Amino acid sequence: MNIFAKLQNIDRRILYLLVALVIIIPLVRKPARHPRTIFKEVQSAYDTIQAVPNDKLVILSSYFDAGTVAENGPQVEAMMRHLFRKGTKFATVTWDPVGAELVSKIGKQVSGQMHKQYGRDWVDLGYNPGPMYVIVSGMAKDFQKVIKQDKYGTKLADISATKDVKSAKQIGTVIEVTASGTVPVWIAYFNMPNNIPLVYCPTAVMAAEAYPYLDSGQLNGMLNGVIGSAQYETLLGMGNEATYSSAASWALSTAHIFIIVLLIIGNIGYFAANRARGGRRHG
């Protein structure tokens, strides 16, 4: 077997091992430098949150589970940091039973780090089954009739952050952190009819399909996977702090460069092998 044939038949286990090594290096070194290039949609997301009046509540809706926590978790964290720093109250609402626990954990961790108080600065509305049924049930008209209590069974009317939230008029923005196609439900039944901004935080797989929504103004900003959350942290002034997002963005860059190199090597092998075969045939 010549070198060109070998290039096309590298054992996949060797490739997996090499990818793992390429990824490990940035994670061990924990680089603090965040991306300096900010995508337009990330900047729009930041500006949208920044423009929310502090007397309004932000809904931080999540629909993901342990499978995509590496992408959606940092997005939730970045959004919570911004809202806490700005002093805007928010309520987390989760549509996945496992995701409910993950979001709750992130909320407790970030609020603890930023010395924020549960009930006064944020509320955890826990798990609710299916966004469509909850939103269609009249959440915009009578918020507290549809979601009556928080995760711990306290009535929303008895919680400082939510006691004045009666309808969509008191909602400043919706942030949808998702690994599922739930954003049309928010657009069709809540955000567009009530003219409420919507910030979208999908996994990278889903991001490409969201650009028509951004162009039409149906979405007011987007965080594209973990790169979006790393850029958002730059906007929050954390550009030189070592975080998971910064390490992950470096690991992604090195992994992508490695994959491109492998693609080039594979293609060189393919064309060279074809040429060699052709040469023999004609010779």
Partner 1 sequence: MANWIIAHANAITIWCAAISTFAIYSVLYAENKFYRFFEHVFIGLASGYSMYITWNEVIYPKWWKLMVNDGQWYWAFAAVLGSMFYFMYSRKHAWVSRVIFGLFMGLGAGGAFREFYQIYFPQIGASMKPVVGGGMSVWDTLNIVIFYVILFASMSYFFFSFDHKSAAIKHTAMAGRWFLMIGFGAMFGATVMGRMTLFIGRFNFLVNDWFPQAKSDWSSGIFRALVSLFALALIVMIVRAIRRPKVKHE
- The least CB distance from residue 161 to partner 1, in Å, is 19
CA–CA gap between residue 149 and residue 252 (Å, rounded): 40
CA nearest 160: which of 89, 249, 258, 241?
89
Nearest C-alpha neighbor of 243 from the set 253, 254, 229: 229
Six token digits for residue 197: 């901004």
Shortest distance (Å) from residue 259 CB to partner 1:
7
272 CB contacts (<8 Å, ≥6 apart)? 4
Q: Looking at beta carbons only, is 30 or 120 nearer to partner 1?
A: 30
Burial class of residue 32 (count of CB atoms within 10 Å of its CB; 0-12, 13-18, 19+): middle
CA of 139: how far to CAs of 68, 183, 194, in Å? 27, 16, 11
Instruction: State whether residue 218 is helix, strand or coil.
Output: coil
Instruction: Show the tokens assigned to 251.
Output: 């690991």
- Measured from the CB atom, the residue of 84 and 186 that comes closer to partner 1 is 186
- Of 44, 95, 66, give the one whose Cα is nearest residue 220: 44
**Please, which residue, 6 or 105, has the CB nearer to partner 1?**
105
d(CA 112, CA 118): 10
Residue whose CB is less far from partner 1, 83 or 168: 168
Shortest gap between Cβ of 107 and partner 1 (angstroms)? 15
Looking at the Cβ atoms of 84 and 143, the one nearer to partner 1 is: 143
- Residue 142 CB, shortest distance to partner 1, in Å, is 15
Q: What are phi and psi of 241, to 5 degrees?
A: -100, 135
CB 55 → partner 1: shortest distance, Å?
A: 28
Shortest Å distance, C-beta 88 to partner 1: 25
Phi-psi region of 221 (alpha: psi -120 to 50; beta: other; left: phi over 0): left
Query: Closer CB to partner 1, residue 83 or residue 176?
Result: 176
CB of 102 to partner 1, least distance (A): 11
Closest to partner 1 by CB, 48 vs 229, is: 229
**Applying CB under 8 A, which residues contact partner 1?**
12-13, 16, 19-20, 23-24, 27-28, 30, 65, 67-71, 73, 97-98, 100-101, 126-129, 132, 136, 148-149, 151, 153, 184-185, 187-189, 192, 203-205, 207-209, 212-213, 215-218, 224-227, 244, 247-248, 251-252, 255-256, 259
